[in-house]
Amino acid sequence: MLVIDDLTVRIGGRALLEGASARIVPGARVGLVGRNGSGKTTLFNVIAGDMSPEHGSIELPPRWRIGRLAQEAPNGPESLLEVVLKADRERSALLTEAETAHDPHRIAEIQTRLADMGAHAAPARAASILSGLGFSNADQARPCSEFSGGWRMRVALAATLFAEPDLLMLDEPTNYLDLEGTLWLQDHLARYPHTMMIISHDRDLLDNAVDQILSLEAKKLTLYRGGYSDFERLRSERLTLDQKMIKKQDAQRKHMQAFVDRFRAKATKARQAQSRLKMLAKMQPIVSLVTEEVRPIHFPAPDKLLSPPIIATDDVAVGYEPGHPILSGLTLRIDNDDRIALLGSNGNGKSTLVKLLAGRLAPEQGTVTRAATLKVGYFAQHQLDELDEDRSPYDHVRDLMPDQPEAKVRGKVGAIGFSGLAANNAVKTLSGGEKSRLLLGLATFAAPQLIILDEPTNHLDIDSRAALIEAINDYPGAVILVSHDRYLLEACADRLWLVQGGKVTPFDGDLDDYRRTVLAGAGQGITVGSKSSARVDPVQARRAAADKRVETAPLRKRISQAEVTIAQLTRQLGKLDVTLADGALFARDPARAAELSKTRAQVVAAIAKAEEEWLAASTALETA
């Protein structure tokens, strides 16, 4: 059992944990959650022995092996398979000793131990892990030094998983993965045979790969059973209960204090007053969880929506070297209300496609037609490095508003998420999440009609990701998403495009279907079933899509009218409720009060009817 007992840890004089305790049973799969900067990684360092606590202790079973993802990616002449196999140090040592041992008894012991640990099947297991993380058989034989830093971090993850330590500790393991790798990792961790602790902001991973949530909040640790959704529900119930208990305790305190103030001077009541003073002194205040409000993320609405399609491509080929296109035969259409998620493992051309759509890459052949005044907001993780580290969020916004008064610039900076003194902090002092917020604000500053988000959730905690989902769903323009966060894609996307084999095709199914496809393929390349793999003439497909939009236009209009009606009636109902809340109205003018009550009943009935109309039209549109 892992025992965290009365732990207090300070960094730079700031307490991150204070009297924190928890007990993790062997075999538990635990997700460690908390706001960015709350001390999750610090707790990992203390558990691993890399850092000493100010007070308290960590107890681990003897001989437990702790496995953590290496901070530096492996880089050497060894093949990927060799790097992963070397992670099991006992196996490597035994195999080395077996080559030089001469004592028959020792040779027998070595061979028995190798057989017990399945050493001879290890290469196949290592290859399976590498395959799941996106490496082909040919890749596994290549030297590690030939791969980029991100891919080498995948190798480090594969080595950590292969070693199967007694306590596996992973800190944001999906940051270097695409959606396909994340889906495989989620499935692998759900079957991990030993104790596991993961720091992650990926809700889907925390809902499906762990069975307990360890929450670090207010410098304390609280263990919850179940996945993240269970944790959210239980935590909400606890918050509600705490608030009720605080109110009840405050009422008791006021009642006792009133008695003391009233009767302290009376001889007959003095003893009772003293008794209540002692009770007040003994009454421990209830410590409620203090929740920090997350600043919302807001994407400015475009001044006007453009006539569809806002982008259309016809038989386009695009790449970086003439004559060697990454993608070809692209015949696509994007409309004002589209929410499109791009699927496909890294290296298949998702980034190439979004650069084409953003106008940052010219087509080699074919035509790209854009609406005349189309503005595109483009966010990509690599752009974080393009921010000027020595300048502040205010400086970056001021560059975009050179002629505007100070108040307007400050207001815009505050809307992005940097109000007051925070607007003047240098970018180099900002956290990864704060830099992402700034970049999102700058990318959408001009109120574009199309927003392209390439891995926008890296560095964002779970609450900030929820704010991003709300911003995307509230935004009236078109959105194209590339993300390894399945929860984000499910909450925002209504169309899926598969980028694979140099082509871009609609994926016929939902993300559950795609997950099953990925896991069935197990890194061998996604082969979509007959529904998706059948070749479709692109011109016919485009005409069919246009016909379908014309056919469903009346339904869309009915939905829009119902939404307007509901909004108007809801405002009218609010005004009526405010008027009727005046109790004196019924005594002062009973006839008017009765008329308003009748009107209110009619408005409620009209809202119900409009909601039924909206639901019927929405159902018909979804069916169509």
Question: Pseudo-torsion of CA 267, 272, 277, 282, nearest 10°?
Answer: 160
Buried b (16+ CB within 10 A) or exposed e, 289-302: eeeeebbebbbbeb
| pLDDT surpassing 50 at residue 533 | no
Place of tokens 């339904």: 555
Partner residues linked to 453 by β-bridges: 379, 481
> Which residue type sits at 285?
P
Per the structure block, which two tokens stand in for 183?
């889906």
Average pLDDT, the chain: 82
In whole angstroms, what is the distance from residue 374 CA to residue 46 CA?
Answer: 52
Place of tokens 């009236």: 476
- Assign 541 a pLDDT band (cuts: 50, 70, 90): very low
What phi and psi values does residue 221 have, to the nearest 5 degrees? -115, 130
Partner residues linked to 327 by β-bridges: 318
Residues 6+ apart with CB under 8 A from 580: 593, 596, 597, 600
Instruction: Report DSSP letters for 184-232, one per residue.
Output: HHHHHHHT-SSEEEEE---HHHHHHS-SEEEEEETTEEEEEES-HHHHH
- Identify the pLDDT of residue 524: 47
Residues 6+ apart with CB under 8 A from 119: 91, 94, 95
* Peptide bond connecting 309 to the previous residue in cis, omega within 30 degrees of 0: yes
Neighbours of 469 (CB within 10 A): 18
pLDDT in tens, 293-335: 677 888 999 988 888 899 999 999 999 988 889 999 999 999 9
- Identify the pLDDT of residue 525: 43
- Identify the pLDDT of residue 542: 46
| Of 255 and 452, more confident | 452
Q: What is the mean pLDDT of residues 278-284?
A: 59
- Whether 355 and 310 have beta carbons less than 8 Å apart is answered as no
Three-state SS sequence of 540-564? HHHHHHHHHHHHHHHHHHHHHHHHH
Closest by Cα among 374, 372, 368, 370 to 331: 368
Largest CA distance in the chain: 108
Residues 6+ apart with CB under 8 A from 392: 423, 424, 425, 426, 427
- Identify the pLDDT of residue 312: 93
Residues 6+ apart with CB under 8 A from 276: 256, 259, 260
| pLDDT surpassing 80 at residue 224 | yes
Per the structure block, which two tokens stand in for 620?
């018909």
In whole angstroms, what is the distance from residue 346 CA to residue 500 CA?
Answer: 10
> Which residue type sits at 164?
E
| pLDDT surpassing 60 at residue 25 | yes
pLDDT in tens, 30-58: 999 988 778 888 999 999 888 888 889 99
pLDDT in tens, 337-354: 889 999 988 888 898 999
Per the structure block, which two tokens stand in for 413?
């900076």
Residue 321: which H helix or E strand, with range? strand 311-321
Three-state SS sequence of 99-145? HHCCCHHHHHHHHHHHHHCCHHHHHHHHHHHHHHCCCCHHHHCCEHH
H helices, E strands: number in the chain: 22, 18
Total residues found in the chain within this entry:
624
Residue 181: which H helix or E strand, with range? helix 179-190
In whole angstroms, what is the distance from residue 378 CA to residue 308 CA?
Answer: 20
Closest by Cα among 118, 122, 101, 120 to 110: 101
Closest by Cα among 308, 256, 253, 292 to 545: 308
In whole angstroms, what is the distance from residue 337 CA to residue 556 CA?
Answer: 11
| Of 530 and 538, more confident | 538
> Which residue type sits at 25?
V
- Whether 186 and 209 have beta carbons less than 8 Å apart is answered as yes
| Of 93 and 213, more confident | 213
The pTM is what? 0.69
- Assign 291 a pLDDT band (cuts: 50, 70, 90): very low
- Identify the pLDDT of residue 529: 37
β-pair type (450-454, 376-380): parallel
Three-state SS sequence of 603-619? HHHHHHHHHHHHHHHHH
- Assign 591 a pLDDT band (cuts: 50, 70, 90): confident
Per the structure block, which two tokens stand in for 522?
């197990």
In whole angstroms, what is the distance from residue 256 CA to residue 278 CA?
Answer: 10
In whole angstroms, what is the distance from residue 463 CA to residue 490 CA?
Answer: 16
| pLDDT surpassing 60 at residue 179 | yes
- Identify the pLDDT of residue 259: 62
β-pair type (503-506, 495-500): antiparallel
What phi and psi values does residue 456 have, to the nearest 5 degrees? -80, -10
- Whether 87 and 68 have beta carbons less than 8 Å apart is answered as no
Per the structure block, which two tokens stand in for 434?
């704060």
In whole angstroms, what is the distance from residue 526 CA to residue 518 CA?
Answer: 6
DSSP 3-state assignment of 505? strand
| pLDDT surpassing 90 at residue 560 | no
- Assign 243 a pLDDT band (cuts: 50, 70, 90): low
pLDDT in tens, 90-147: 888 888 888 888 888 888 888 888 787 777 788 888 899 998 888 888 888 888 888 8
